[in-house]
Chains A and B, each alone.
Chain A
Amino acid sequence: MISQIFILSSKGDHLIYKDFRGEESKDSINVFYEMVTALSGDQPPVVMSHKGLHFIHARQGGLYWVASTKTNPSPFTIIEFLNRLAALTKDYCGSLSEKSVRMNFALIYELLDEMVDFGYIQTTSTDILKNFIQTEAVSSKPFSLFDLSNVGLFGAETQQSKVAPSVAASRPIMSSRGEQYNSKNHGVLMKADIHGEIKIKCFLPSCSEMRIGLNEELSIGKSQLKGYSSAVRVDECRFHQAVKLDEFDTFRILKVCPSQGEQTVMQYQLCDELPCAPPFQLFPSVEKDYVNRVLIFLKLRCDLPPKSTALNVSITVPVPKGSTSMSQELSSPDQTAELQPKNKALLWEIPRFPGGAQLSALFKVDVPGLSSASLLEVGPVSMSFELPKQTCTGLQIRFLRLSPTQTGLSQRWVRYVTHSDSYTIRI
């Protein structure tokens, strides 16, 4: 059972504090903050104890979401609950930030009051909660149709009618986080790990059944591969407990009655055998130029289809310790590159990278006291990027239907996005 729940800003300001059992004084907030800030980077901060009181916390949106307890509960339960609380707050307030929590503190207190009683979790389902929540959300940013990230789902009617005039809309988001490792010698893929999920963000006030059709050729696991078609394959997938799967086996249709808010309908994973080439290929060459200078020549090719574009590509190349300065030759003016001596790395940023294109860059790094062994310190290269309109597995939403057909208009958005999580290339 939970003794207290509090939310702190990164500077330690008290944003929300609720004591469920009256076992501990309010000082425990300060105790927690002192403990968490005193930790060094390599000490695990998730669970900390002070005089029989355990603090479990999660960091979301730059805030500390903390539960304290005197018993020995399941860490998974508490962590998932804190994450759920953060997700709900995001659903209601539109975004997670110190400002939005500050502005909506009355609403969050109300949520907590309904979610937890006497330290026991009562419910976290939006369907039940929305009947009890009376406070209206306050949006921290002015409303804009172009930026839907901060639109609260419930509460302020003004917002809702703006999002979806007359009726509402549902918007599945598909995202996958890729993790890949390449090795240089043969350009072989060492490890690929794709975590994907289908999320639904639903603004529909009333619940009706939604049918989501996925690619028919989708196969799950290794055994199900059929025919010669380029099947879309995932290793394993898991579904939200509300999803009905009776048509999934034959037609690959998910049936779900979405409740308002954001939900993860399906999570899937794919390891190692990618259906397409990894999005980027790097052809590096690292040479010792003459005394005290390293030449790093990087040729980077984007293997996406020509119509796609990768955004916000940034490449981090570790450089030998003691590098002092760098000169660079980049192929276009919108790219930037800088040397970060503190992280002993150089950072090359490309805002837009169209599919099929190839960019190259030459860096000359001055390293006083260079030895041939120093070249070992160059690499592995890591990249981060975002691929809009792209899924690594090839999983697609074939259709999205509401049945029985909603009277009036309902709008649908389907968005695909791939984020890199850890994309590393060995040199």
Chain B
Amino acid sequence: MPYFGSEEMVKELKRALSNPNVQADRLRYKNYITKVIRYMTQGLDVSALFMDMVKASATVDIAQKKLVYLYMCTYASDKPDLALLAINTLRKDCADPNPMVRGLALRNMCNFRMPGMTEYIEQPIVAGLRDKASYVRRVAVLGCAKMHSLQPNTDIDGTIVNELYALLRDPDPVVVVNCLRALEEILKDEGGVVINKPIAHHLLNRMKDLDSWAQSEVLTFLLRYRPRSDDELFDILSLLDSFLQSAHAHVAVATLRLFLQLASAHPAVQADALLCTSAPLLATCGAASRELRFAGLCHVQQVMRSQPGLFGTHYKRFFCGYSEPTYIKFRKMEILVELVNDENVALVLEELRSYCTDVSPELAQAAIAAIGRIAQTYSEKCLDILTGLLALKQDHITSAVIQMFRDLVWFCPQSTAAVCQTVEACVDSPQDSEGKQALLWLLGEHGDQISSAPYVMEGYIDGLKTELSSAVKMELLTASVKMFLCRPAETQDMLGRLLHYCIEEESDVCVRDRALLCYRLLQRGVEETRKVVTGPKSDPSMSVLTGRQEEPISQWASTFNTLGPLSGCDLCPQTAVISAADQPSSSAEKELLPESTDVTLSSPDDTEEEISLSLGPPLSHETFEKMWLDLEILQRQTMGFPRPRTALDTLQAALQLVKIQTLAFTPGATVPWKAYIYTRSTGTLILAELLQGDQHAPGIDESLVVSVKQQPVNQHAIRGFVSILKGVLGDVW
């Protein structure tokens, strides 16, 4: 972050460094050098001092040398001609009697990333490979890799490769591992270092000498070795057996991965290895470092995909501590849901029940969702808990519970009666749109069992004008039609009102279309409608829990102990629930509504940019507002023309056509005029504000200004979005 006065600072430092008085005073000189490095770290450009720093490298003080080398490595690529001046000093140091100085000089010389460096470093590297000090050999071996990366397209130097293969027999363990690393990089195009039988066996025998980092790396290299016979295989496995219980988690896990791969033909051996490693894995799940804990939990989840019973008795280890961060609690709850069995279900449920009243609404909802998933196997116990939660009368809890009821009815039809009873007794209704949709679906689908259903629904129809979410309105339409089919007398009047409002006054095109569809269906006759509207009421075959298949180990073994499990499964229970919850409504409506498909538009002004927008699940006003306040404006652009003069619902419909959803806008004539819109595209959510100031006020540009925010950031999508928006607004205008 450059700031004002940085040039002054550099000048002052330059003056000080070239001042002979300062140079004579070792301590003061070093202080100034330290200062230079400090500014460098902060991001200040101090490359102008290169000459003075080169001079400072000629010193006996190793600490000072190291600082200067750090500086030179950073700026060598910017100042190649000046860096050449430093090379002489470095080459001289490469012949120093002190191995530490030799190694230091060689390492840093190889770190200079500039063209033409190879000719200077080749000879010292070759000499370094035969150095008697292991410290220098370590540096020289990696130097070979660095040299190769400086000119990646040249031919591979056969002599160096041979020398590196020979150095695999070096007495120093770090040299051995560095050789593997260097060969891997140099021979990348040929498939990396070759692990044949002699090398593999040599490495296995050296395992005990290596430190833990080297051990886990060698274990990873050994993954590509295939033993010739079963005898050899079991020899290797018994040699590695003790590493499964290593005190270092990374060694234990790397060994497990190797076991799983080598013994892929011997499931019993794999199972034994998993059992052996379950102790170290569980230990990482309770580690003091929360990052390690998280990594452990993710890998436990992977193991449970094949062996769900392995951790069943250790369920208490996955109870959440109150000081743990939310993302760890989420993971633990997911695991708890998976490992539930007849013995532990009561205690697990009791524990989850206590999370439901947590301060954090997200956590509470996730806990309710977890109970909901367990309910698919142990419905009675869970229904009691969920019903008890309704008594708390808190919006977020009620909404989550109702959503769980809907899923439960869908997956386990046998619990329908109990759920209907509870819903009937439940006095307060959910406030957020997901909860409302769930309740409406339940009322519509099982209206015959809930005696108060029409009256609850009437409440929603009366409050239609204040309802903001179009998804709720659509659900209400479908539910009312279903209700009309089973209880026509009570529903007819309000269905009429509902259809009238939605067709005549509703501005949302989707809702209006749905209303028209319902209207025309009813015109065709009741039987016809029944055929279309009533789908299956439940689908037990979709139950995730009872029908869970144990995956073969090979399914996940290849990503075990990589970043995959940590970043790949970022489905927190929340999203898992929503995706499951979407199921019933969408399948019930499949016949009614064509699935919203993505629209692909190529923007007019550049040909290579193609971006597809989609609507996705609707955003509530609160979410939008929260995100709008949290995010930064990524792009602000004037459209070049004032806002369209057409009626606002035309504008809204036009935007809807290209899959841009309008959330809110100020009424037609107000000044300044604003509209908030959003859309989704390739995994990102784009929020935008259209703003027009007073057109008649002097000095104010009268054209429309659009500000775009996005999460996560994807510039490509923004450009596409803006050009599509421009196109639409231009057309409408």
Q: Which A positions have Cβ atoms within 8 angstroms of B?
A: 1, 13-17, 19, 21-22, 26, 35, 38, 41-49, 54, 56-60, 72-77, 79-83, 105-106, 109-110, 113, 117-118, 120-125, 131-132, 134-135, 177, 179, 181, 183, 190-191, 193, 195, 236, 238-241, 267, 269, 271-272, 316, 318, 321, 343-345, 371, 373-374, 376-377, 379-380, 382, 384, 421-422, 424, 426
Contact = CB atoms under 8 A, between A and B. Distances in A.
A75 B247 contact: no
Given A16-B41, A105-B38, A118-B145, A125 B211 contact: yes
A236 B281 CA distance: 13
A25 to B, nearest CB: 11
Nearest to A131: B100
B604 to A, nearest CB: 28
Nearest to A23: B149
B233 interface: no
Contacts, number: 214
Interface in B61-80: 61-63, 66-67, 70, 74, 77
A267 B292 contact: no
A106 B326 contact: no
Interface residues of B, number: 91
Given A42-B327, A77-B213, 8 more contacts: A16-B41, A44-B327, A72-B564, A77-B217, A106-B63, A110-B63, A134-B62, A241-B212
A-B pairs, top 3 by smallest CB distance, nearest first, are A422-B321, A76-B250, A373-B391
A74 B254 contact: yes
Given A44-B566, A76-B253, A79-B292, A113 B213 contact: no
Contacts of A56: 563
A16 B217 CA distance: 26
A74 B284 CA distance: 14
A47 B567 contact: yes
Nearest to B220: A74
24 contacts: A1-B181, A38-B711, A38-B712, A42-B574, A44-B566, A45-B327, A46-B294, A58-B291, A59-B290, A72-B564, A73-B563, A76-B292, A80-B249, A83-B291, A106-B37, A106-B67, A118-B142, A120-B142, A120-B177, A122-B178, A183-B350, A191-B319, A373-B392, A422-B321
Interface of B: 34, 37-38, 41-43, 61-63, 66-67, 70, 74, 77, 100, 107, 113, 138-139, 142, 145-146, 149, 174, 177-178, 181, 211-213, 216-217, 220, 245, 247-250, 253-254, 279, 283-284, 286, 288-292, 294-295, 316-317, 319-327, 330-331, 347, 350, 354, 357, 359-360, 362-363, 366, 388, 391-394, 561-567, 570, 572, 574, 630, 711-712
Contacts of A77: 213, 216-217, 250, 254
A113 to B, nearest CB: 6
A240 B245 CA distance: 12
Contacts of B42: 13-14
A122 B145 contact: no
A2 B496 CA distance: 67
Contacts of A60: 289
Contacts of A54: 563, 567
B322 A424 contact: yes
B247 A110 contact: no
B34 to A, nearest CB: 6
A73 B331 CA distance: 22
Taking each of B37, B248, B321, B565, which has the highest tally of chain A beta carbons within 10 Å of its own beta carbon?
B321
Contacts of A267: 247, 283
Given A44-B570, A75-B562, A241 B181 contact: no
